[in-house]
Amino acid sequence: MKQLSGGSASERLAALEALVREHAQEIREVPFTDEVNNHVHTVYSFSPYSPTLAALMARLAGLRAVGSVDHDSIGAAREMVAACKLLSIGSTVGCELRVNFSGTRVEGRRLNNPDSLNIAYMVIHGVPEARIDEVAAFLSPLQRLRNQRNRAQVERLNELTRCAGIDPIDFDADVAAFSSTAEGGSITERHILAALARLVLSLHQAGDDLIAFLQSAMNLPVPGKIAAQLSDVSNPHRLYDLLGVFKSSFLDRIFIQPDERECISVFSAVEFANSIGAIPAYAYLGDVGESPTGDKKAEKYEDDFLDELVPELSRIGYRSITYMPPRNTVAQLLRVQALCAANGLLEISGVDINSSRQSFRCPEIMQPEFSHLNDTTWALIAHEKLSACDPRYGLFAKGNPLATRPLPERVTRYAGAGRNMDPAHPESICAEIQSLQQ
């Protein structure tokens, strides 16, 4: 596990290659489900998983395909593609960033971002391998701006924790050093709070001592279930459990609003994604009443003006909406599906993985209302691989010979090509180009 997690990308892939060679039979015996997950975070933003380890975890969970999506970074992409080849599963790559909606018909509203008005998360899905370096160059100045804000947020956190007798956190030594920023990764607020969690755990290892320190010295509420988890010194998720406590207690107190230099115009971001043959996707969040997953507080987002928002997304140049079936009610997502169909937008799914407690599986995708999302994933994979053969065969490419066909028909054809591809040799999909047009 250390070899799959640490070292360089080439060292991690070499470790995976050795593991696959030595345990080929055991891996083959792990049954496949029909599930996929297009939205796994890696160490290139915040996650316990390197791209190599994420691919292995996906295979051991029975997934047939997995995708990496990191905040403000596409550093995981090539490693994810190579790891999936070794494991004979499909791969797709992209990145996630925040954009401002100034100049749009929904300017100033709360969209899908709990922390900011007028700023939305978007995903650039289906990045062709030949364009990865362009995406990295596009994101690099956003990373630098974010890190200026990160340094200021660390100072805010140090002010809050000084009264508890906690030594100040150093951004470079305690935060950046535990990230993949040197390899093109980004640093998020979770990195900052994880630095605090590591420091507190280094000082208060014993369960009762830790709980007493959190409650008395730091004056933090620790619910019974969380207290039990943190008191268990053998708990392998302890760092992430403590990070959750700090996130709920400190995030809104240290958070500094990003400006429109860091969160660039949605028009610019969408135009860039389309220019490289990728698929810009709006990440639907939806109002939260009683959260189906129990992890979000009641709050209103886009649902009151969704009928206005989705046509505007299409006008801006978005090609798709991405959503997470476990996060919303069936009624909410059926509404999103109907609006996607009416506005010519692709539906993409994925459940973000950024904690060791989370499962890579998403059984909800097998429900009848969402099973078509498997086709979308294989179409997304085919789009990515076919673009490497010939850029005209990007799913939304203007020169695509199938451009006049309805989107559902194109998705069906591309999904078939994706499923027929040998995932250990994805270049084999080039042989499917002629059959796409028949």
Give the torsion sign (CA, 8, 13, 15, 16).
Answer: positive
> Regarding beta strands 119-125 and 279-283, do their DSSP bridges make them parallel or antiparallel, or are they unpaired?
antiparallel
How far is residue 325's CA from residue 37's CA, in Å, rounded to a whole number?
11
Q: Is the pLDDT of residue 289 over 80?
A: no
Summarize pLDDT for 63-113 with one digit per residue, the tens. Answer: 999 999 999 999 999 999 999 999 999 999 999 999 999 999 999 999 999
The total of other beta-carbon atoms located within 10 Å of residue 320's CB is 24
Residues 6+ apart with CB under 8 A from 209: none
Strand order in the sheet with 65-71: 36-40, 65-71, 90-100, 119-125, 279-283, 320-323, 346-349
Task: Copy the structure tokens of residue 86.
Answer: 């070794």
Q: Is the pLDDT of residue 429 over 90?
A: yes
DSSP letter for 44, please. Answer: T
Task: Copy the structure tokens of residue 82.
Answer: 């190579």
How far is residue 284's CA from residue 373's CA, in Å, rounded to a whole number?
15
Percentage of the residues of the chain whose pLDDT score is greater than 70:
98
Query: What number is the average pLDDT over the span 220-227?
Result: 93
**CB-based contact 111:118 (threshold 8 Å):** yes
Whose CA is closest to 39, among 247, 315, 286, 320?
Answer: 320
Q: Mean pLDDT of all residues in the chain?
A: 94
- From residue 335, alpha-carbon distances to 129, 332, 338 in Å are 34, 5, 5
The total of other beta-carbon atoms located within 10 Å of residue 120's CB is 27
pLDDT band at 428 (very low <50, low <70, confident <90, very high): very high
Domain ranges across the chain = 2-140+264-368, 148-254, 371-438
How far is residue 403's CA from residue 425's CA, in Å, rounded to a whole number?
27
Summarize pLDDT for 158-189 with one digit per residue, the tens. Answer: 999 999 999 999 999 999 999 999 999 999 99
At position 406, the amino acid (one-letter code) is: P
Q: Is the pLDDT of residue 290 over 80?
A: no
Placement of tokens 């084999």 in the chain: 428
Query: What number is the average pLDDT over the span 302-312?
Result: 98
Summarize pLDDT for 227-247 with one digit per residue, the tens. Answer: 999 999 999 999 999 999 999
> Regarding beta strands 119-125 and 90-100, do their DSSP bridges make them parallel or antiparallel, or are they unpaired?
antiparallel
pLDDT band at 297 (very low <50, low <70, confident <90, very high): low
Summarize pLDDT for 13-58 with one digit per residue, the tens. Answer: 999 999 999 999 999 999 999 899 999 999 999 999 999 999 999 9
How far is residue 277's CA from residue 385's CA, in Å, rounded to a whole number?
12
Which of 83-97, 121-135, 150-164, 277-291 shows the lowest per-residue confidence on average (mean pLDDT)? 277-291
Winning range, highest mean pLDDT, from 152-156, 203-207, 433-437:
152-156
- Tell me, what's the pLDDT at 205? 83
Summarize pLDDT for 335-373 with one digit per residue, the tens. Answer: 999 999 999 999 999 889 989 999 998 888 888 999 899
At position 64, the amino acid (one-letter code) is: R
How far is residue 183's CA from residue 43's CA, in Å, rounded to a whole number?
10
Q: Is the pLDDT of residue 295 over 50?
A: no
Q: Is the pLDDT of residue 291 over 70?
A: no
How far is residue 345's CA from residue 311's CA, in Å, rounded to a whole number?
10
**CATH classification (class only), 2-140+264-368:** alpha beta
The total of other beta-carbon atoms located within 10 Å of residue 150's CB is 23
At position 58, the amino acid (one-letter code) is: A
Query: What number is the average pLDDT over the span 369-394?
Result: 94
Strands (E), 25-138: 36-40, 65-71, 90-100, 119-125
Residues 6+ apart with CB under 8 A from 91: 55, 65, 66, 67, 80, 81, 83, 84, 85, 381, 423, 426
- Tell me, what's the pLDDT at 136? 98
* Upper half-sphere CA count for residue 244 (Cβ side, 13 Å): 18
How far is residue 81's CA from residue 131's CA, in Å, rounded to a whole number?
14
How far is residue 171's CA from residue 183's CA, in Å, rounded to a whole number?
17
Q: Is the pLDDT of residue 426 over 90?
A: yes
Give pTM, 2 decimals.
0.95
**CB-based contact 301:288 (threshold 8 Å):** yes
Residues 6+ apart with CB under 8 A from 23: none
- Tell me, what's the pLDDT at 364? 86
How far is residue 243's CA from residue 237's CA, in Å, rounded to a whole number?
10
How far is residue 386's CA from residue 408's CA, in Å, rounded to a whole number?
18
